[in-house]
Amino acid sequence: MKEEEEKYRDSLATVNERGNRNWIFAKQPKGRLYNARTVVSVCCFLLFFSLPFIHINGRPLFLFNVVDGRFILFGAVFWPQDFFIFGLVMVAFILFIVLFTMAFGRLFCGWVCPQTIFMEMLFRRIEYMIEGTAAAQKVLNRGPWTTQKAIKKILKHSIFFLLSFFIANTFLAYIIGTGELWKIVTEPLSAHAGGFAAIMVFSFVFYAVFAFFREQVCTIVCPYGRLQSVLLDKDSVVVAYDHARGEPRGKLSKKETGKKDCSCTNCGGCSRIIPPPMGDCIDCLQCVQVCPTGIDIRNGTQLECINCTACMDACDFMMEKTGRPKGLIRYASENGITEKKKLRFTPRLKTYTTVLLLLITAITVMLASRKPAGATVMRTAGMLYQERGKDSISNLYRIKLINKTTADMPVTLRLDGIEGRVELIGHPYIRIKAEGQGEGTFFIVLPRHAVSKRKSMLKIGLYEGSKQVLSTRTTFLGPVK
Ligand code: SF4
Ligand code: SF4
Q: Annotate 65-125 with DSSP letters as a single string.
A: ETTTTEEEETTEEE-GGGHHHHHHHHHHHHHHHHHHHHHHTTHHHHHT-HHHHHIIIIIHH
- Measure Cα distances from 366 to 84, 219, 354, 426 in Å: 10, 38, 18, 35
pLDDT band at 398 (very low <50, low <70, confident <90, very high): very high
Q: What pLDDT is recorded for position 463? A: 93
Q: Please tell me if the CB atom of residue 287 comes closer than 6 angstroms to any atom of ligand 2.
A: yes
Residue 232 near ligand 1, beta carbon < 6 Å: no
Among protein residues, the one with the nearest Cα to ligand 1's atom 7 is 291
CB of 236 closer than 6 angstroms to any ligand 1 atom: no
Q: How far apart are CA 388 and CA 382, in angstroms?
A: 19
Please tell me whether residue 211 adopts helix, strand or coil conformation. Answer: helix
Question: Does ligand 1 lie within 6 Å of residue 305's CB atom?
Answer: yes
What's the confidence (pLDDT) of residue 436?
83
pLDDT the model gives residue 258 = 44
Q: What is the mean pLDDT of residues 169-184?
A: 90
The candidate with the shortest Cα–Cα distance to 277, out of 254, 241, 247, 298, is 247
3-state secondary structure of 430: strand
Q: Which residues contact 82 (CB under 8 A, 6 or more apart)?
A: 370, 374
- Tell me which of 373 and 28 has the higher pLDDT: 28
Q: Taking residues 414-436, what's their average pLDDT?
A: 89
C-alpha separations of 201 from 84, 161, 170, 197, 367 in Å: 31, 12, 13, 6, 36
Query: Ligand 2 pocket check: which of 328, 330, 337 to mutate, most ligand atoms within 8 Å of Cβ?
Result: 328
Q: Is the pLDDT of residue 113 over 70?
A: yes
Give the residue range(s) of CATH 2.60.40.10 domains in the chain: 373-477
Residues 59, 77: contact at Cβ < 8 Å?
A: yes
Whether omega before 114 lies within 30 degrees of 0, making that bond cis, reads: no
CA of 241 to the centre of ligand 2 (A): 9
Most confident of 351-360, 403-412, 439-448: 439-448
pLDDT at 21: 85
CA–CA distance, 216 with 199 (Å, rounded to integer): 23
Find the mean pLDDT for residues 196-213.
Answer: 95
Question: Residue 386: pLDDT above 60?
Answer: yes
Segment 140-165, tens digit of pLDDT = 999 999 999 999 999 999 999 999 99
Tell me, what's the pLDDT at 202? 95
Ligand 2 mean position to 276 CA, how many Å?
A: 15
Residue-wise burial string across 228-246, b where 16 or more C-beta atoms lie within 10 A, e elsewhere = beebbeebbbbbbbbbeeb
**pLDDT tens, residue by residue, 90-104:** 787 787 777 778 777
**Phi-psi region at 439: left, alpha or beta (left = phi > 0; alpha = psi -120 to 50):** beta
What's the mean pLDDT in 234-241?
Answer: 87
What does the pLDDT read at residue 407? Answer: 82
User: Is there an atom of ligand 1 within 6 Å of 409 CB?
Assistant: no
pLDDT score recorded for residue 319: 95
319 within 8 A of 280, measured Cβ to Cβ: yes
**CATH homologous superfamily of domain 373-477?**
Immunoglobulins (2.60.40.10)
Q: Are strands 373-379 and 421-424 parallel, antiparallel or unpaired?
A: unpaired
How far separated are the first and last CA of the chain, in Å rounded?
88
At 469, give phi and psi (nearest 5°): -100, -20
130 CA from centroid of ligand 1 (Å): 24
For residue 82, the CA-to-ligand 1 centroid distance in Å is: 41
d(CA 129, CA 309): 22
Q: Output the pLDDT for position 263.
A: 55
Crossing angle (nearest 10°) for helices 83-104 and 347-368: 150
Compute the residue count for the chain. 481
Segment 455-469 mean pLDDT: 91
- Which of helix, strand or coil describes residue 342? coil
Residue-wise pLDDT for 279-331, tens only, equals: 899 999 999 999 999 999 999 888 889 999 999 999 999 999 999 999 999 98
**40 C-alpha vs ligand 1 centroid, how far in Å?**
18
39: pLDDT strictly greater than 60: yes
Single-letter code of the amino acid located at 75: G
Question: So what's the pLDDT on residue 459?
Answer: 94
If DSSP codes are grouped into helix, strand and coil, which group holds residue 38?
A: helix
120 CA from centroid of ligand 2 (Å)? 21
Q: Which residue has the higher pLDDT, 112 or 383?
A: 112
Residue 469's region, left for phi above 0, alpha for psi from -120 to 50, else beta, is alpha
- pLDDT score recorded for residue 277: 59
Q: Answer whether 297 contacts ligand 2 (Cβ < 6 A).
A: no
Ligand 2 proximity of 286 Cβ (cutoff 6 Å): yes
286 CA: nearest ligand 2 atom: 1
Q: Across the chain, what does the average pLDDT equal?
A: 86
Residue 74 has a pLDDT of 75
Checking if the pLDDT of 108 tops 60, the result is: yes
d(CA 459, CA 473): 5
What is the 211 CA–ligand 1 centroid distance (Å)? 20
- CA of 452 from ligand 1 middle (Å) equals 74
Ligand 2: which of 33, 247, 257, 281 to mutate, judged by most atoms within 8 Å of the beta carbon?
A: 281
What is residue 425's predicted lDDT score, i.e. its pLDDT?
92
Q: How far is CA 2 from the centre of its chain?
A: 38
Whose atoms come closest to the Cα of 311: which ligand?
1
For the cut 90, the answer to whether the pLDDT of residue 480 exceeds it is: no
Model confidence at 119: pLDDT above 70 = yes
287 CA → ligand 2 middle, Å: 6
From 108, 293, 299, give the residue whose CB has the most ligand 1 atoms within 8 Å, as the site to mutate: 293
CB under 8 Å to 23, separation ≥6 — which residues? 14, 141
